Structure 1
Amino acid sequence: MRVAVLADVHANLPALDAVLHDVEAHGADRIVLLGDIAGGPLPAETLDRLAALGERAVWVHGNGERELVDAFDGKPGKDRNAADAAVCAALIGQRHRDRLAGLPMTVTLDVDGLGPVLFCHATPRRDDEFVLVDSPIARWRAVLDGVGEGLVVCGHTHMPFDRLAGGRRVVNPGSVGMNYGPAGAYWALLGDGGVQLRRTAYDARAAAARIEAGPHPQAAWWAEQYVTKPYGDADALEAFTELARD
């Protein structure tokens, strides 16, 4: 089995479409959706596109799914993402909410040549925990305590890496829809005994126009911040280093 891993789509439908085209070209059997799928400018359209994948898609929840369901249900948000979740919740329907509710926090799949692989959004123990490519081994050991799989694939920080961490291999595919660093939509392909960190190019200007034509009230701002003029990886890493102390 070959597995494509798509993390942090953030409702950037043009980026997702470009990656799905690439995924088909590489013959992936399963597509793992690693959370933070719909928090962005085109949430309903993105969820509908992914639902059409049927049983090929394996869904994992991130903090974004939890926050979006809570906002849809009218529960008061307590973190910095609450306002964004409320905006996106107003753009989805009951069927979208129901698909996101109750998704697992981790999934394990047997991948050809790699064996059992654990997939999660942030860490196996929390959907909002920050661990980084340069986090100390002691931090990684605490995060992965009790995990039996030799390979863990996580997202959340939007920056790709592949490293050893306390006797296990940890891979982050990067973000499909909200990358930090060089332009493109990032994902990973697992199988045949290896891990490929991939980047799919897409037309940022056309994507921004599609986003701006959508229903999100801050669509133009979102497109500029995350598509046409995205943050650099150094800036993001500096900000996340502070969050990783929590």
Structure 2
Amino acid sequence: MRVAVLADVHANLPALEAVLADVEAHGADRIVLLGDIAGGPMPAETLDVLAGLGDRATWVHGNGERELVDAFDGKPGEGRSAADAATCAALIEQRHRDLMAGLPMTVTLDVDGLGPTLFCHATPRRDDEFVLVDSPISRWNAVLDGVDAGLVVCGHTHMPFDRLAGGRRVVNPGSVGMNYGPAGAYWALLGDGVVQLRRTAYDAAEAAERIAAGRHPEAAWWAEHYVTRPYGDADALEAFAEFTGD
């Protein structure tokens, strides 16, 4: 089995479409969606495309799915993320809410040549925990305590990496729709004993135009900040450091 891993799409439909075409070209058998799928400018359209993958797709939930379902259900939240979730919740329907509700936090699959592989959004124990490529081994050991799989694949921080951590291999495919660093849509291909960190090019100007024409009230702002002028990886690492406790 060859597995394509897509994390942090953030409702950037043009980026998702580009990656899915690349996934097809590389002959992936299974697609694992690592959460934070619909928090962004085109949530309903993005969820409809991914629902069309049927049983070929395996989903885990991120903090974005949890927050979006809560917002749709009218549960109060706090901070900017709650406000963003409420905005997106107004753009989806019941079927989209039901697609995201009840998703597991982790899934383990046996990947050809790589063995049992645990997939999660942020960490195996929380859907909103920040662990970075440069976090110390002591922190990784705490985060992965009790995990039997030799390979762990996580998202959440939007930056790709492949590192060893306390005897395990940890991979982050990067973000499909809200990358930090060089332009493109990031994902990973696993199988045949190999982990490939991939970057798919897409037309950022055209994507920004499509996004800005959508129903999201901050679509034009979103497209400018996350598509045409994405934040750098160094800036993101500095911003996330305050959440890690390292």
Aligned residue in 2 for 1:60: 60
> The residue matched to 1:110 in structure 2 has which SS?
strand
Write the deviation string for residues 71-116 of structure 1: whole angstroms up to 9, x where unpaired: 0000000243000000000000000000100000000000000000
In structure 2, C-alpha distance between the alignment counterparts of 1:229 and 1:158, rounded to whole Å? 15
- Deviation (angstroms), 1:16: 0.1
Q: How does 1:93-172 map to 2 (within 5 A)?
A: 93-172=93-172
> The residue matched to 1:81 in structure 2 has which SS?
helix
Letter in 1 for 2:242: E
Corresponding position: 1:70 with 2:70: yes
- Deviation (angstroms), 1:244: 1.1
Aligned residue in 2 for 1:24: 24
Taking only the aligned residue pairs, the percentage that are identical comes to 87
Letter in 2 for 1:23: V
Write the deviation string for residues 29-51 of structure 1: whole angstroms up to 9, x where unpaired: 00000000000000000000000
In structure 2, C-alpha distance between the alignment counterparts of 1:75 and 1:87, rounded to whole Å? 13
Write the deviation string for residues 170-200 of structure 1: whole angstroms up to 9, x where unpaired: 0000000000000000000000001000000
Corresponding position: 1:9 with 2:9: yes
Write the deviation string for residues 107-142 of structure 1: whole angstroms up to 9, x where unpaired: 000000000000000000000000000000000000
Aligned residue in 2 for 1:226: 226
In structure 1, C-alpha distance between the alignment counterparts of 2:78 and 2:128, rounded to whole Å? 13
Write the deviation string for residues 203-228 of structure 1: whole angstroms up to 9, x where unpaired: 00000000011100000000000000
In structure 2, C-alpha distance between the alignment counterparts of 1:218 and 1:80, rounded to whole Å? 13
In structure 2, C-alpha distance between the alignment counterparts of 1:5 and 1:240, rounded to whole Å? 23
Letter in 2 for 1:209: E
Letter in 2 for 1:217: P
> The residue matched to 2:187 in structure 1 has which SS?
strand
Write the deviation string for residues 133-184 of structure 1: whole angstroms up to 9, x where unpaired: 0000000000000000000000000000000000100000000000000000
Instruction: Tell me the matched-pair count.
Output: 246
In structure 1, C-alpha distance between the alignment counterparts of 2:78 and 2:137, rounded to whole Å? 31
In structure 2, C-alpha distance between the alignment counterparts of 1:15 and 1:118, rounded to whole Å? 25
| 4+ runs deviating over 3 angstroms | none
In structure 2, C-alpha distance between the alignment counterparts of 1:230 and 1:78, rounded to whole Å? 26
> What is the alpha-carbon root mean square deviation over aligned residues?
0.7
Aligned residue in 2 for 1:188: 188
In structure 2, C-alpha distance between the alignment counterparts of 1:78 and 1:155, rounded to whole Å? 23
In structure 1, C-alpha distance between the alignment counterparts of 2:10 and 2:169, rounded to whole Å? 26
In structure 2, C-alpha distance between the alignment counterparts of 1:78 and 1:127, rounded to whole Å? 16
Aligned residue in 2 for 1:91: 91
> The residue matched to 1:131 in structure 2 has which SS?
coil
> The residue matched to 2:80 in structure 1 has which SS?
coil
Letter in 1 for 2:172: N
In structure 1, C-alpha distance between the alignment counterparts of 2:12 and 2:49, rounded to whole Å? 11
Q: How does 1:172-183 map to 2 (within 5 A)?
A: 172-183=172-183
After TM superposition, the score normalised by the length of structure 1 is 0.99
In structure 2, C-alpha distance between the alignment counterparts of 1:78 and 1:12, rounded to whole Å? 24
After TM superposition, the score normalised by the length of structure 2 is 0.99
